[in-house]
Amino acid sequence: MEPVSRRALLIGGGSGVALATAAALNWDTASRLWWRVPGVDKQRKEGEVDQPGVRWIAASEANLRFADRPADYVIDRVVIHVTESDFRTAVKVFRDPLHEAAAHYLVRAEDGRTVQMVRELDVAYHAGNRGYNERSIGIEHEGFVDRPGNFTEEMYRSSARLTARICERYGIPVDRGHIVGHNEVPGADHTDPGPHWDWKRYMAYVRQARAGSGKA
């Protein structure tokens, strides 16, 4: 079986959950053994995304670690970031092997368009904390922490839909204990998303999107 099949099962959710779990368990046993064979790389489809409607632009593999989440690490956090750069620069640095950081997703301010740069199964270096990197999905938002005008309605809406689907995929509760700012990661020396990020509005949109898909 190909990894793609298993991911499709996991992402499917809904009524197929019990069936998918049973299938995933069997498959996991085989996949773990296969994964341990030195020099064997996990098969990944170029351009494949975890979130419908987003575009794939690969980050440099130096800015992430290949993994098999959620089988090897439980995903129970979403970490919210602000890039401190424009969108193009953020894409560029995440593709730079010397940057030592990248996030799974990057949301554009102007229209909320989103690119995925790291697969959710992989560990992206975004939180500055190994344990948090392993347990989280990182979402970067184009903008600067000291410019309130950066954070547009389109960006909040689009990012909230993404976070809602991530919470749905991994069974993450929609609350501020599980959807956190980079500044709230233990040991983090970053201040993003900063004082102008409207958490109240964002969480309301996430809850709305989580409650009724397509509503937000």
**Chain residues in the site for Zn ion (CB under 5 A):** 81, 182, 190, 192
Taken in order 110, 116, 118, 122, the sign of the CA dihedral is positive
Alpha helices in the chain (DSSP H): 3-12, 17-36, 87-94, 130-135, 153-170, 199-211
At its nearest, how many Å lie between Zn ion and the CB of residue 102? 11
Kindly tell me which of 85 and 208 has the beta carbon lying closer to Zn ion: 85
Kindly tell me which of 120 and 192 has the beta carbon lying closer to Zn ion: 192
At its nearest, how many Å lie between Zn ion and the CB of residue 181? 8
At its nearest, how many Å lie between Zn ion and the CB of residue 199? 15
At its nearest, how many Å lie between Zn ion and the CB of residue 107? 13
At its nearest, how many Å lie between Zn ion and the CB of residue 180? 11
Kindly tell me which of 186 and 214 has the beta carbon lying closer to Zn ion: 186
Helices and strands of the chain, counted as H and E runs: 6, 8
Kindly tell me which of 157 and 182 has the beta carbon lying closer to Zn ion: 182
How many angstroms separate the CA atoms of 172 and 165, rounded?
Answer: 10
Kindly tell me which of 3 and 143 has the beta carbon lying closer to Zn ion: 143
Kindly tell me which of 10 and 103 has the beta carbon lying closer to Zn ion: 103
Taken in order 119, 143, 146, 166, the sign of the CA dihedral is negative
How many angstroms separate the CA atoms of 79 and 45, rounded?
Answer: 25
Residues 142, 154 contacting (CB under 8 angstroms): no
At its nearest, how many Å lie between Zn ion and the CB of residue 73? 20
Of 201, 79, 209, 67, nearest to 139 (Cα)? 79
Residues 75, 10 contacting (CB under 8 angstroms): no
Q: 16-35 burial, b for 16+ CB within 10 Å, e for fewer? A: eeeebeebbeebeeebeeeb
